[in-house]
Amino acid sequence: MRLRDMLEHLAGAPLADYEDFATRTEPFRAGKGETLFSQGQHHPHAYFLRQGLVKLCYVTHSGTERTKSLVHEGQLFASLGSMRPEAVCSFSAIALEPVEGERFPLGAFLERLEKNLQWERIGRKFFQELAFSKERREHQLLVLSASERYEQVIRERPELLQRLSQAELARWIGITPVALSRIRGRRSRSPKQERKRQS
Instruction: Write the pLDDT tens digit of every residue in 46-81.
Output: 999 999 999 999 999 898 899 999 999 999 999 988
User: Which pLDDT score is estimated for 197?
Assistant: 47
- CA distance linking residue 97 with residue 163, whole number of Å: 8
Sign of CA dihedral 47, 99, 88, 85: negative
**C-alpha angle with apex 55: 1 to 71, nearest 5 degrees?**
25
CB 137 within 8 A of CB 69: yes
CB contact burial 69-85 (16+ within 10 A = b; e otherwise): bbbbebbbbbbeebeee
- What is the average pLDDT across 32-42? 95
- CA distance linking residue 122 with residue 12, whole number of Å: 9
SS3 144: coil
- CA distance linking residue 75 with residue 126, whole number of Å: 10
User: Which pLDDT score is estimated for 191?
Assistant: 55
Domains of the chain in sequence order: 3-118 (2.60.120.10)
pLDDT in tens, 154-187: 999 999 999 999 999 999 999 999 999 999 999 8
- Answering whether pTM is above 0.85, one says yes
**C-alpha angle with apex 170: 30 to 75, nearest 5 degrees?**
40
